[in-house]
Amino acid sequence: MLSLVLLSLLLSVQWFTAFAQNKEKVTGKVVDSNGQPLIGVTVVQDGTTNGVTTDVDGNFTISVPATALLDISYVGYNNQTIKVSIGKPITITLIEDNKLLEEVVVVGYGVTKRKNFTGSVSTIKTENTPLALQPTTSALDVLRGTVTGITISQQQGAGQEPSLLVRGQKSVNGGTSPLIVLDGMIYMGSYRDIDPSTIESISVLKDATSLAAYGSQAANGVIMITTKKGKIGKPIINISSSIALSTATAKPDVLSPSDYVKKVNLLSGLDENADPTWMNTFEYENYENGKTIDWFDYVTRTGVLQNYSASISGASEKMNYFLSSSYSDQKGIVIGDDYNRIGITAKLQNDITNWLQIGGQVNYTVNDYSGPTTYNLYQAVRLSPYGKSTRDNGMPEKYPVNEGVYRLNPLWNVKSGTIDDHDIYATTGLKGNILIKCPWLEGLSYRMNGSYSVENIEKDYFTHEGYYVLEGEDEDRYATSTVADYLASANGYSARTKNTSWVWDNIVNFTRQFGDHFLDVTYVYTRDSYEYNYRKFTGSDFSSLGNTNLGYWGLALAGTQLISSINDTLKTDVGYLGRINYNFKDTYHLNLSLRRDGSSVFGANHKWGSFPAIGVAWTISNEPFLKKISLINYLKLKTSWGKNGNQSLSPYETMSKITLGQSGGYSYTFGNTSEVSWGQRITSMGNADLAWESTESINYGFDLGLLKDRIHIEFDGYFSKTTNQIFSRTIPVMINGLTSIYATMGQVNNMGIEINLSTVNLQTKDFKWSSTLSYYLNRNKLKELYGDGEDDITNSLFLNKSLGAIYGYKPIGIVQTDDAEYISANGAVAGDVKFANLDGSSDGAITSTDRTILGYTKENFRMSFGNTFKYKDFELYALFTGVFGGNGYGQAKNYYAFRTASDVVGDNNLNHGWWTEENMSNKYPRIGYTNSNYTPLQGYGFVRLQDVSLSYLVPQSILKRYAIQNLKFYAACKNLFTITGWEGGDPEIQQTLGSGYSYGYPLSKTVSFGVNMTF
Amino acid sequence: MKTTKYIYISALTLTLGLCGCNDNAFLTEKANTVYTTDNSYETVDQVKASITNMYVHIRYWYQIDKFMKGLGADVMDTPYFRSSGYGYSYFSNWSASSNSASKIYDAMYQLANYANQSLVGYNTDGLTWDSTDDKNEDYGQIMFLRGYAYLTLGELFGGVPLVDQFYETLKLDFTRSSREETYLFAINDLEAAAATLPDYPSEAGRVAKGAACHFLAEAYLALATINDNDATYLAKSIAYADTVISMHPLMTERFGTRASSSGGTTKNDIAAYYPDGNVFFDLFQEGNYDYSEGNTEAIWTLQNDYTVYLTYGGNNYVNTPREMSPVLRDVIWNSTYTESNAKSGPWAGNIDTDLYLGGNVCAYFGGRGVGVISPTTYVISDVWDSTYSDDMRNDPCNIRRYFLCTDTVHSLYGDTVDYDMLDYTSQKITEFFPIWTKFAPIDDWGYDDLSDGGNRSNIYSDQYACRSAETILLRAEAYFRAGNTTAAVADINLLRNRANCSLLCTTDDISLQYILDERVRELYGEERRWVTLLRMGSDGITSINNHAMYIATQSFWGGYFLPTGSEITDWTLFPIPQTVIDTNTGAVIDQNAGW
């Protein structure tokens, strides 16, 4: 597969490669400002692709025409162009790039230099950094712990997409996902289609002025992803591959088999050490023989992730190309969870004339999730250790314990061969752009970008009759002739989704420096569209066929065939943006913008909204009085205000809808005919006034560079107010039978601070140690709800409190035998949980007025600490991340870390004791205690070594012999260890036994090895 | 140069200008695959679909959600092993915000509003029905269901806002009518229905004149009750009941699918004929519920169909075997009877599956019962003292009280397990109670889905919304309230005689509680018990206080658990849901007394 991809790439690149013309031989040496030779510097004949790189001593030799110019470029240094001098060797001194001032910041519909930027943005470069070495399939994973102000979930199942939250939860009910902008255009596709190996950098826009460019879609933040481009020089062929092995970060600690028997005995009303006669035959046999099974081990395995990618890229002054393909194959740590992805990208940009540039890009991605997978692993925690996973003939047993219907073999779907699952996501993306630089007015340009993307999702699923094997103990249940009785239940479906999106941007830009005045004016007109198109066909009852050998391919033969769904929704947006950036002497900066947005999802009376923003900044370090202080080399103060929106409505949500027919699902049958009649019912009441949720925010902060940027501090603070929240408002049922309607009301405030401290701690010729410490704190407060000044206890929403409140009775220990007063007041028995009498009622009875806010699911703050050590050709990177609780924050419900009883007596439980008269615990209640008032919380705070990588760059001296430009070996680990007080699973995903039947997919601890080669 | 400049400028302006002017067209929503209220009534079939929706809706509140049938009242509750004492009848947990009563309030207003919306459809200009009869029947059904909704609301909540039109915009200023006005509104609708509906259901499942008259009898009885047993209203009630009873006479002989010793359809290898059955048994056999199936007693039946369920799912099933059967496999022996190799309980395992197909979830045990709902001691034994020993409703084929030990390893295998052999010190005893055959079939003949891998959780027979035995009890109550005890007693004895019960009611016996008791014997799990009790007011509350699971001592379980709740003292009506009061911001809706 890989070699095929490579071959096609090699062939297609042939015609890009230019011929070098033999003219004059020029030799030279490239050094830095200290006179140290620079290795691997690119030296290219200007306007051609004729180029070389410097050797270990910084020397180069190139043949060029005598009149040629040479472009010298090196990462981290300013580019230089020099005239060729024939004869004597030339020495070129490259000046280190002053990153701060000249770094380009990607902003909405354009770029700007960091020095002119008034907002708040965090940029992560992934190309050629340790971050790119992470063993992952998700492009956005690099943001975790490296960017302040953003919370990103860990990937659990193979190929699953993370969720993102920027600067706190602003919307109570609406979406919280940020807008993704890929190479300058709004991206409406799935994260899974962004190939991590093609990413150059990711920026997160957070403040209102930066977000203002995206108006009604921007309130949850904007993530700008820039993909790799060809670089001037000779074509680069890059091949990298890695393999990663993973296991679960945490294994649920369950009762030992003997404690399990004691527990069930007691719950069954038997003596602790009684003979467990409640077991069924095979369970009892296993018990007698001491044969146990560890169900968590049974369902998990060592996960394997393989990533391969190959790319060819290059550029001349006129043309830039980048071709890449990648292949990822992931076997998740739960058996059956398999995933692979193929990604192909081709990019080409060409300057046709000095005023016209065109570019195009094609992407193709296929994600394959086929095969049944179990994501909820509660069975693997709950099942009896004396259960039976496998029958005598080596095939899986569906009912591993007594009372099987709710206790199935967790791998029954995966191993029984009775489920067929075909699950493919294929996306094709096309992009094109035209840039016209106005030849008669310097600085004026018009750019048109267009993108078009189609995602096709194929989902076919089939459940064979064998799936419906009955409970019991004999093997006959599995006989073909027995299960043939269930052919009427065999069923399957075939579903097709087509998501089509397009974006069309028109950007007129005028950028020019007039003496001390810099002006950048942008006008944008944009439209986009997203269409979701779905059809699903189901078939069931194969009794007339006698078997289901064709699986879902035989749906047309089903006794019952239904078109269960055809759905098509279209969402369209229009936007106008005007923006002015102005600065005077690079010192006083002003940014003004106004976006006007219309969206089809908004109610008929509210189709349009306006989103203004203003930002100012002052680069104090340019002022004469500060220039004297050598300690400070850079200081900029900035503040901004703006308004953004959140489109939390889905298409047609502002209309009154009815449901009818078969897809409505209200079936009845009159007249004993088995003929179905369908009901028609109103499902929602429209509201033409619905629109966007609106967020106003203020950002303030500073950038400070000390000791020639050895120390760099970025501080940002913000305050935001989100109003017109879209709520499902409760209405009197008398109006029309509906009990809710979408309405806008309520207000949530967010405030927070973000601090990023980057330091170069040590730097010698061979050794460099740099580190980054970041801190992020966010608080939110529900200011207003339904306008009646009342809390919404049902939904745990409390005015003037943070979102994520957990409300209930406060446990203060366990009722002991001598707590006579409490026992009589509450009809409690010793061993029950004791609740605080918060209302101070004199009778000591615990009633609903004793409830209080027990804690918040939201964390207190996050910190991360990254270190990079470079010694010669070795680079070691380690990133610690931590989520901290305290002050009631960072709490989550963790029932079974305390409680023992569950709905099903024979269930296993997390490993801990229980209250007995002999051992009067004050932490764990008595064994059979269940009470819906009991909500035990536990802190999920943790500190973990999230990423660590070690890479070795093979010295050029060795590589020269093999015509290899760069060769890097590396090892990278993820989630290597974790310190936490959380019980039952991983703290980051708050994994534990849920109060119902749930246990989330485990998080992975991964070790990977890889190689990266450039020719 | 200048020319180029102008070309550029005009091209640019044109591009931007052109797209700008049709922005609004671009943003207009066109729902391709969704119906909106704009196109909901273009044909008669859409009106009929609206009516079908109401049948689907009300079926849910009879057979899926069983609260109205008396959960927490005198007859049934969540058993102790599931509730630890905090069952429905732990009334101190109830408030205006609690879900149980408010969901019925919502359900009935939904029904009323579906009717209102159907009326909008019915009155749409330009619709043509096949015949006047057809049109009248549709109108009658709409009026019936709205009347039924308001009658139920009045009985459970007292006077409520009377809404007779469908609002498409917000209205937040509803006010309560009096209970009498609510009843009169319901009567008006039901009388309109009685006038237009056909005599008998045009198709099984539809309501007809009998149903309208049955609920008119109930409505006038309710109206009389709040008016000091007003004689005129009682007379009307009796007159409507007379109509129903003459149109829907009681079934008195064996009939239908399992009554004939010759022929019949074999299901799951079980012969159709059930020799030990009786007419009461036949009333609850699949295929016997509808008037069109020869059951004259049936007034209004809720339809279910296995084929439809298999194809489309939905609520076309009855989960009473699962929810209302005991969990016999969990019950354990008391220590005297535990044997080392045998299972912990008489029905837990070691079962001969040739005799008991399905093992410990066989039909003999009531299928795969999980005991979500348990009868109270009042229902299990109080109303069935030994004097009712020959009442066929209490026959083992209708109420299964005793079971043989099925553990082949146990020395008592094959013997009847007496209650005193069970362990009354374990909570598991509360998983034990008798099985009503109307909820869980006596054998696999009733489990339609077994051949498709079903596990005896559900059945797919029709269910009664009402049958004339209930009309008779309504009339008995009306006679009693009117002071005509002789006629009241005669009505009760109509049912006793049909049940071949040697014990007959006398004028000394009769009381409202006596009528409530008889309702339990005849209609347990069928009647909307809460509606009956709250319609009666404090008399109904008394029965709750005397019998409810967590208020009265439950001797059936040997006093395993003691009452946790306290008696109802201060209310006779359900609370108006707090959300309704809170959200009706334009006017005040008063709360009922005691909440």
| Amino acid A781: pLDDT | 92
Give residue A145's pLDDT.
74
Range 431-460 of A in CB contact (< 8 A) with B: 438, 440, 446
* Interchain CB distance below 8 Å, B34 and A669: no
Instruction: Please report residues of A whose CB lies closer than 8 A to that of B48.
Output: 677
Query: What is the number of other CB atoms lying within 10 angstroms of the CB of residue A297?
Result: 11
CA distance A550 to chain B (A): 20
SS3 A796: coil
Range among A161-175, A695-709, B212-226 with highest mean pLDDT value: B212-226
Tell me what percent of the residues of chain B surpass a pLDDT of 90.
73
**Within chain B, how many helices (H) and strands (E) appear?**
19, 7
CA distance A501 to chain B (A): 15
Q: Which residue of B has its CA nearest to A524?
A: B16
Q: In A, residues 701-740, which contact B (CB 8 Å cutoff)?
A: 729-737, 739
- How many angstroms separate the CA of residue A292 from the nearest CA in chain B? 21
Q: Dihedral through CA A976, CA A982, CA A987, CA A993, nearest 10?
A: 120
Best mutation target among A266, A277, A791 (most B Cβ atoms within 10 Å) is: A277
pLDDT tens column, A628-682: 888 888 898 989 999 988 887 888 888 888 888 888 889 999 999 889 999 999 8
Phi, psi of B576 (to 5 degrees): -65, 130
Q: Is the pLDDT of residue A802 over 60?
A: yes
Q: Indicate the residue type of A991.
A: Q
Distance from CA of A321 to the nearest CA of B (A): 29
Is residue B420's pLDDT more than 90? yes
Taking residues B27-53, report their average pLDDT.
88
* Nearest residue, CB atoms, B52 vs list A601, A665, A677: A677
Q: What is the mean pLDDT of residues A192-198?
A: 86
- The alpha carbon of residue A187 is apart from the nearest alpha carbon of chain B, in Å, by 19
Please tell me the distance from the alpha carbon of residue A232 to that of residue A51, in angstroms, as a whole number: 8
Partner B, chain A 496-535, Cβ-Cβ below 8 Å? 506, 508, 525, 527
Is A358 in CB contact (< 8 Å) with chain B?
Answer: no
Q: Which of A378-392, B233-247, B423-437 has the highest mean pLDDT?
A: B233-247
Closest Cα in chain A to B452: A486
In tens, the pLDDT along A246-280 reads 999 999 999 999 999 999 888 877 788 888 877 87
At A525-573, the pLDDT tens digits run 999 999 999 999 999 989 888 889 999 999 999 988 989 889 999 999 9
Angle, nearest 10°, between helix axes B529-536 and B512-523? 170
| pLDDT score at B6 | 54
Helix (H, G, I), strand (E, B) or coil at A261: helix
- State the count of interchain CB pairs (< 8 A) between A and B: 259
* Alpha carbons A492 and A482: distance in angstroms, whole number: 20
**A429 within 8 A of A380, measured Cβ to Cβ:** no
CB atoms within 10 A of CB A532: 17
The contacts of residue B319 (CB under 8 Å, 6+ apart) are: B64, B457, B458
Rounded to 5°, the CA angle A864-A861-A129 comes to 20
Q: Please, which pLDDT band fits residue A5 given cuts at 50, 70 and 90?
A: very low
In the stretch 814-843 of chain A, residues with CB closer than 8 A to chain B read 827
A199 Rama sector, left if φ>0, alpha if ψ -120 to 50, beta otherwise: beta
The percentage of residues in chain A with a pLDDT greater than 70, rounded to a whole number, is: 96
CA angle A690, A692, A697 (to 5 degrees): 145
Considering chain A, what is the average pLDDT of its residues? 86
Closest CA to A437 of A533, A508, A331: A508
Q: What is the mean pLDDT of residues B482-493?
A: 95
CB contact (8 A) between residue A679 and residue B54: yes
Instruction: Name the residue with higher pLDDT: A207 or A377.
Output: A377
Q: Answer yes or no: do A665 and B305 touch at CB < 8 A.
A: no
Task: Classify residue A74 by burial, with Cβ atoms within 10 Å: 0-12, 13-18, 19+.
Answer: buried
Distance CA A112, CA A210 (A): 11
Alpha carbon of A593: minimum distance to chain B alpha carbons (Å): 19
Q: Please state, in angstroms and rounded to a whole number, the distance separating the CA atoms of residues A335 and A301.
A: 6
Give me the DSSP letters along B438-483.
Answer: TTS-SSGGG-TTGGGT--SS-B---EEEEEHHHHHHHHHHHHHHTT
- 8 Å CB contact of B49 and A680: yes
Identify which has the larger pLDDT, A622 or B131.
B131
**Distance from B580 to chain A by nearest Cα, in Å?**
5
pLDDT of residue A186 exceeding 60, the answer is yes
Contact B53 A680 (CB under 8 A): yes
Q: Write out the H or E segment, with its range, that includes residue A687.
A: none
Residue numbers of A between 767 and 786 with CB closer than 8 Å to B: none
Type and span of the H or E element at A752: strand A740-763
Which residues of chain A are within 8 Å of residue B112 when distances are taken between CB atoms? Answer: 737
List of chain A residues whose C-beta atoms are within 8 Å of the C-beta of residue B34: 652, 655, 657
Each residue's pLDDT tens digit, A572-620: 999 999 999 898 988 899 999 999 999 998 888 888 889 999 999 898 8
Amino acid of residue B61? W
pLDDT in tens, B269-279: 898 999 999 99
CA of B305 vs chain A CAs: smallest distance (Å): 6
Residues in chain B closer than 8 A to A275 (CB atoms): 340
The residue of chain A nearest to residue B81, with distances taken between CA atoms, is A903
Q: What is the mean pLDDT of chain B?
A: 91
Which chain B residues contact residue A600 at CB under 8 A? Answer: 26-29
- Distance in Å, alpha carbon of A658 to nearest chain B alpha carbon: 5
Packing angle of the helix pair B209-225, B179-196 (nearest 10 deg): 160
pLDDT in tens, A375-413: 888 889 989 999 999 988 999 999 988 665 678 899 999
Point out the residue among A440, A472, A655 whose CB comes nearest to the CB of B1. A440
Question: Cβ–Cβ of A733/B110 closer than 8 Å?
Answer: yes
All residues of chain B having their beta carbon less than 8 Å from the beta carbon of residue A827 are 85, 564
Is A652 an interface residue toward B (CB < 8 Å)?
A: yes
Give the minimum alpha-carbon distance from B487 to chain A in angstroms, rounded to a whole number. 36
Partner residue opposite B204 with nearest CB, options A508, A671, A790: A671
Nearest-Cα distance to chain B for A669, in Å, is 6
Confidence of residue A7 (pLDDT cuts 50, 70, 90): very low
The pLDDT-based confidence of A16 (bands split at 50, 70, 90) is very low
Instruction: Return the structure tokens found at B561.
Output: 């658990």
A624 burial level (CB within 10 Å; 0-12, 13-18, 19+): exposed
State the CB neighbour count (10 A cutoff) for residue B567. 16
Q: Which residues in chain B are contacts of A446 at CB distance < 8 A?
A: 12
Q: Is the pLDDT reported for residue B145 higher than 50?
A: yes
CB contact A660 to B (< 8 Å) = yes
- pLDDT tops 80 at residue B363: yes
pLDDT higher for A114 or A735? A735
Nearest CA in chain A to B153: A734
Instruction: Say whether residue A789 is in contact with chain B using an 8 A CB cutoff.
Output: no
Q: For the segment A739-783, what is each residue's pLDDT rounded down to a tens digit?
A: 888 888 889 999 999 999 999 898 888 888 999 999 999 999 999
Q: What is the pLDDT of residues A476-491, one digit of tens each?
A: 889 998 888 889 889 9
Given a cut of 70, is residue B528 above it in pLDDT?
A: yes
Q: What is the largest CA-CA distance in chain B?
A: 117
**Length of chain A in residues, anyone?**
1015
Dump pLDDT digits (tens) for B17-30.
Answer: 545 558 888 888 88
Q: What is the mean pLDDT of residues A499-516?
A: 91
| Most distant pair of Cα atoms in chain A: their distance | 105
- pLDDT score, position B8: 55
Which residues of chain B neighbour A731 with C-beta distances below 8 Å? 170, 172, 583
pTM over cut 0.90: no
The answer, yes or no, to whether residue A959 has pLDDT greater than 60, is: yes
Name the A residues in 250-289 with CB < 8 Å from any B CB. 268-270, 275, 277-278, 280-281
CA distance A681 to chain B (A): 6
Q: Do B113 and A737 touch (CB under 8 A)?
A: yes
Q: Looking at the predicted structure, is the pLDDT value of residue A10 above 50?
A: no
- Is B29 within 8 Å of A678 when comparing Cβ atoms? no
Pairing of strands A491-514, A444-463: antiparallel
User: In this predicted model, what pLDDT tens digit does every residue of B529-583 receive, in sequence order?
Assistant: 999 999 999 999 999 999 999 999 999 998 888 887 889 988 999 999 988 988 8
pLDDT at B323 over 70: yes
The predicted structure's pLDDT at residue A18 = 37
Closest CA relative to residue A204, chosen from A165, A161, A163: A165
Alpha carbon separation from A853 to A842, A893, A999, B353, B528 (Å, rounded): 22, 13, 25, 54, 40
**Chain B interface mutation, best of A418, A441, A574, A681, highest count of B Cβ atoms under 10 Å:** A681
Rounded Cα–Cα distance for residues A749 and A94 (Å): 49
Q: Which of A94-103, A162-171, A844-853, B323-332 has the lowest mean pLDDT?
A: A94-103
Instruction: Give the mean pLDDT of B486-503.
Output: 95
